[in-house]
Amino acid sequence: MFTYGFLNLIEIIQIEKGYKMGSNLFDSEIKNLEALTKSGAFGSESQNLLKKRGEISTQEFIYLSFCSIYDDPNFDYETLPYIIDFMDLFREGQSTNPQAMVDIITASMVGDKNNLQLETMSSYTRFLTEHQILKNNLSEMSKERSVDPLKRIELANAILHDYSNGFEYCMKLFTFIIAIARVVNGKEYDLQIIDKQPSSNKLNLFRQIDGGKHNLLVDGWDDRIRNADSHASIVYNPQTCLFEGKNNHYQKTDTGKIRRVEEFTITPVELLTKVIPRVGRFIHGYLGASYLLYLVNADREYYDKAVVILKELSK
């Protein structure tokens, strides 16, 4: 349900702004994600809601999409601090410059008129689909008494790619999160300039402009894994049952930069239970807060009902 709610929010933005934005890649990913949702790839709940799309109001649809995350018996309570932090940041931006907030949130989904490549839909779709495939494969593997060594390595690589995909998507979102923080502080922003920064720079930029108010959003990111995976410098060792990697990075010195190589290990359990879930919590927090930002302007009644759900979860 959450997946198609995201698609619907994009559709609303395009209609209300009176034009359609998006690159060819964006348009194709929209169609792919909608087709997957219709097929039931993301669950029957999302599939069934899609069938009712023409029978309920847009506001109710967005509200139900929000409920699919936050009013769910299997809700991950560690997601709650993320949406609270994002809501706080969005609220500050809304009170400072409402139009800038609309423009930034819109651009974070469908791109900017001056740079369609800022769209994040392709990254979102890749993360979502490959994450679902990984979940399905892990579920199937858990039913087997013994697993072929090559199958274990294949799944281990899929786990690595899952984190890398999620990390990259989150870092793309930071382009817009930094822009919102600049709006809050009365500063101008340039999405294209921010977007060109590497992930480490983006995290530092947000820390500087935010002043430590939303440290949850920037602390705890493990870019060693993403960096090692992108350079094919991490492998799963079936003998030790560990991921063994090398993190190639540059460190500033008084005379310039020097290249460092840091060896590290991490267990599959740590990746699956600590590192990867943080990605999902961050994404759900951002998109959930985006739903609330829409509802607070479009339908106060549904917004208030959504806030009640969050308050109940906070008890």
User: Distance of CA 149 to CAs 144, 178, 217, 232, 271, Å?
Assistant: 13, 44, 37, 20, 19
Which of 23-37, 58-72, 149-163, 192-206 is predicted with the least confidence, judged by mean pLDDT? 23-37
Q: pLDDT tens, 52-65?
A: 777 888 888 888 88
User: What pLDDT sits at residue 15?
Assistant: 45
pLDDT greater than 60 at residue 235: yes
Question: What pLDDT does 18 receive?
Answer: 46
Q: How far apart are CA 282 and CA 81, in angstroms?
A: 9
* Residue 268 and residue 156 in contact, taking contact as beta carbons nearer than 8 Å: yes
Check residue 304 and give its pLDDT: 96
Q: What is the pLDDT of residue 90?
A: 95
* pLDDT grade for 9, boundaries at 50, 70 and 90: low
Dihedral of the alpha carbons of 219, 224, 230, 231, in degrees to the nearest 10:
150
The domain spans of the chain are: 2-314
- Mean pLDDT check: name the lowest of 93-97, 138-142, 256-260: 256-260
- What confidence tier does 226 reach under pLDDT thresholds 50, 70, 90? confident
pLDDT at 204: 93
Average pLDDT score over residue span 269-291: 91
pLDDT score recorded for residue 169: 93
Each residue of 14-30: pLDDT tens digit? 544 444 545 566 667 66
Q: Which residue has the higher pLDDT, 232 or 187?
A: 187
The Cα–Cα gap between 188 and 163 comes to: 32
- pLDDT one-digit tens code per residue, 295-310: 988 899 999 999 999 9
Which of the residue ranges 54-63, 142-151, 240-249, 256-265 has the most confident prediction, judged by mean pLDDT?
240-249
Q: What is the 3-state secondary structure (H, E, C) of the chain?
A: CHHHHHHHHHHHHHHHHCCCCCCHHHHHHHHHHHHHHHHCCCCHHHHHHHHCHHHCCHHHHHHHHHHHHHCCCCCCHHHHHHHHHHHHHHHHHHHHCHHHHHHHHHHHHHCECCEHHHCCHHHHHHHHHHHHHHHHHHHHHHCCCCCCHHHHHHHHHHHHHHHHHHHHHHHHHHHHHHHHHHHHCCCCCCHHHHHCCCHHHHHHHHHHHHCCCCHHHCCCCCHHHHHHHHCCCEEEECCCCEEEEEEEEEEEECCEEEEEEEEEEECHHHHHHHHHHHHHHHHHHHHHHHHHHHHHHHCHHHHHHHHHHHHHHHC
pLDDT digits (tens, 9 = 90+) for 102-127: 889 888 887 777 777 888 888 888 88
Please, which pLDDT band fits residue 5 given cuts at 50, 70 and 90? low
pTM to 2 decimal places: 0.86
Span of 52-56, 69-73, 242-246 with lowest mean pLDDT: 52-56
Give the pLDDT confidence score for residue 88 in this predicted structure. Answer: 96
The mean pLDDT value of the chain amounts to 84
d(CA 102, CA 211): 23
